[in-house]
Amino acid sequence: MVKKTYDTENACLRSMCPVSSVLDILGDKWTILVVRDMLLLGKRLYSELIDSPENIPTNILADRLKRLEAAGVIERLPYQEKPVRYEYRLTQKGEDIRPLIKELVAWGNKYIEGTIVPPEGFLDKPYQT
């Protein structure tokens, strides 16, 4: 039996397993890096997200933003009318990914030599402008 929690043309959950279901939404490198940048660095504009050091291709960024919006992880809000431009904000569902990011950082710091250890408390609070 397949559990379907959101509906997009290209995304459909594979099973009722929670790990599999989360991976259907967040399970690729680019998606989790977009969420990381929004969650920890306060990035909201397409131009800010495209400027990350991992060099996400523009077509992939556009696709991941659409998928995250369809899954209810982010919302798209217009900030300019001519031409129409949007900013992206994490929803509560997106904010609730913070513990996953913290665990990925902890695991990376523990097992991958040379990874950056964030300052105390950096991962615990929303980005401050």
Asked whether residue 46 is domain-assigned, the answer is yes
Phi, psi of 74 (to 5 degrees): -130, 165
* Confidence band of 1 (pLDDT split at 50, 70, 90): very low
Could you tell me the CATH number of the domain that includes residue 45?
1.10.10.10
Asked whether residue 129 is domain-assigned, the answer is no
pLDDT tens digits for 66-101?
Answer: 999 999 999 999 999 999 999 999 999 999 999 999
Asked whether residue 81 is domain-assigned, the answer is yes
Closest CA to 56 of 79, 32, 86: 32
pLDDT tens digits for 4-26?
Answer: 555 454 455 567 888 888 998 99
Tokens of 51: 């400027």
User: Rounded CA gap, 72 and 126, in Å?
Assistant: 19
Q: Amino acid identity, residue 105?
A: V
Whether the CA torsion 78, 68, 72, 8 is positive or negative: it is: positive
pTM over 0.75: yes
Number of domains in the chain: 1
Asked whether residue 121 is domain-assigned, the answer is no
Structural domain harbouring 84: 18-111
- The Cα angle at residue 65 between residues 46 and 102, in degrees rounded to 5: 95
Asked whether residue 90 is domain-assigned, the answer is yes
Asked whether residue 116 is domain-assigned, the answer is no
